[in-house]
Amino acid sequence: MKHVFLNLKRFDVPAKAGGVNRLTSPAEWGSFLVKATQNELTAFDPAQVEFVDFFPEAHLIPAAAARQTGSVVQLGCQGVYRENVSAGGNFGAFTSCRPAAAAAALGCSWALIGHCEERGEKAGVLAEAGVTDNAAVNRILNREILCAQASGMKVLYCVGEKAEEQADWKGVLGAQLRIGLAGVDLSRVVVAYEPVWSIGPGKTPADRPYIEKIARFIKEQVPVDVVYGGGLKSDNAAMLASIPEIDGGLIALTRFSGEIGFYPEEYLEIIRLYLNA
C-alpha cells in the first residue's frame, strides 16, 4: 500500500495577513480543497494507494461536509492532546487542547503526531522547566498516539534527526521509535521520516542513498510502512518512487517560489508523477 499524506499546516492564513492561502476565503478553505481533489483522485486504485489530508482544526467540519459518499479523501488532525475524554470520567475539560475524541467526532480517521514542529514546541516548553532530555518528548508523543488509537484513529508518526544529531542518527531515531511507539498498535501506524537537517531554504536535500538507508533502518526496528516526510514534490517524486523501502510521502507546499503555497492542480500533478514513475 502506498500513502500520500497532505499536511496543510497553517495554510488557512490569508496572504494579506502573511500567510500563503491565495485560494479562497478561510470559511471555504477546507471544503474547497476537498472538492478540488476528491474526484480526480478516484483515478487511482484505492487498494493500492490512500490519500489523507491533515487540516487545521477549524477547517475539519467544512472539509468533512465536502466529502462525497465513499470519498477517497480521508481526513486527519494535526495532533491530539496527551489525555483523552473518557465515558463516565473526564468529559473533556481540556481548554485550548484537542482531545482525540473530539478530533474523531469531527470526522478524523488519522492523527499526525511527532512532526518536527511539534517536537520543537514540546522541547521548548520542557526546556523552560529545565528538562532537556529528548526522551521526555518521546514519552509525551507516545501518550498522544495511544489516545489517538483509543479513539479509533490511525497515526502518522514523524521521526527525524537535527543537524547536531546526525552523528548519532541511529541512537536518535532508535529512541524515537522505541519510546514513541511503545505499546501501540503498529498495524495502525505509518512512520514518516523527516530529515530535519535538510528541510528549509538553503539546505541540501537528503539524497537517495541517505533516505534509503534511513527507511531500511526504520523497517528493521518496527514492522511499519515508511513514507518520506521531508517533502514529496515534483522534483523528487521519481527518485522517491525508485526507493523500494519508501511507501509514499508527505506533501506540504507545492510551489516554492513566486506565489508560494499549496495549489490543488500542482498537488494532483505531484501524485501523478510519483505513482506513475
CATH of the domain at 63: 3.20.20.70
Beta strands 154-159; 225-228: pairing state: unpaired
pLDDT greater than 90 at residue 201: no
- Verify whether residue 3 is a known catalytic residue: no
In this prediction, residue 11 has a pLDDT band, given cuts at 50, 70 and 90, of confident
- Verify whether residue 212 is a known catalytic residue: no
50, 118, 161, 194: which one is catalytic? 194
Asked if residue 112 lies in contact with residue 76, where contact means CB atoms within 8 angstroms, the answer is yes
pLDDT greater than 90 at residue 21: no
Our count of domains for the chain comes to 1
Which 3-state string (H, E, C) describes the chain? CEEEEEECCCCCCEHHHCCCECCCCHHHHHHHHHHHHCCHHHHCCCCCEEEEEEECHHHHHHHHHHCCCCCCEEEEECCCCCCCCCCCCCCCCCCCCCCHHHHHHCCCCEEEECCHHHHHHHHHHHHHCCCCCHHHHHHHHHHHHHHHHHCCCEEEEEECCCHHHHHHHHHHHHHHHHHHCCCCCHHHEEEEECCHHHCCCCCCCCCHHHHHHHHHHHHHHCCCEEEECCCCCCCCHHHHHCCCCCCEEEECCCECCCCCECCHHHHHHHHHHHHCC
**pTM value > 0.85:** yes
Please name the residue that has the C-alpha cell 470526522: 107
Q: What is the pLDDT of residues 83-139, one digit of tens each?
A: 999 888 888 889 999 999 999 999 999 999 999 999 999 999 999 999 998 999 999
50, 59, 115, 144: which one is catalytic? 115
Asked if residue 145 lies in contact with residue 87, where contact means CB atoms within 8 angstroms, the answer is no
Q: Which of 33, 47, 7, 49 is nearest to 272 (CA)?
A: 49
Residue 145's pLDDT is 98
pLDDT greater than 90 at residue 202: no
Cα–Cα dist 72/19, whole Å: 28
pLDDT greater than 90 at residue 245: yes
pLDDT greater than 90 at residue 168: yes
Instruction: Tell me what the mean pLDDT of segment 247-253 comes to.
Output: 96
Q: At what angle do helices 169-180 and 208-221 cross, to 10 degrees?
A: 40
**pLDDT above 90 coverage of the chain, percent:** 87
Domain interval for residue 110: 2-275
In this prediction, residue 186 has a pLDDT band, given cuts at 50, 70 and 90, of very high
- The chain-wide mean pLDDT, for the chain, equals 95
Return the minimum-mean-pLDDT range out of 24-33, 118-127, 145-154, 158-167. Answer: 24-33
Cα–Cα dist 48/266, whole Å: 21
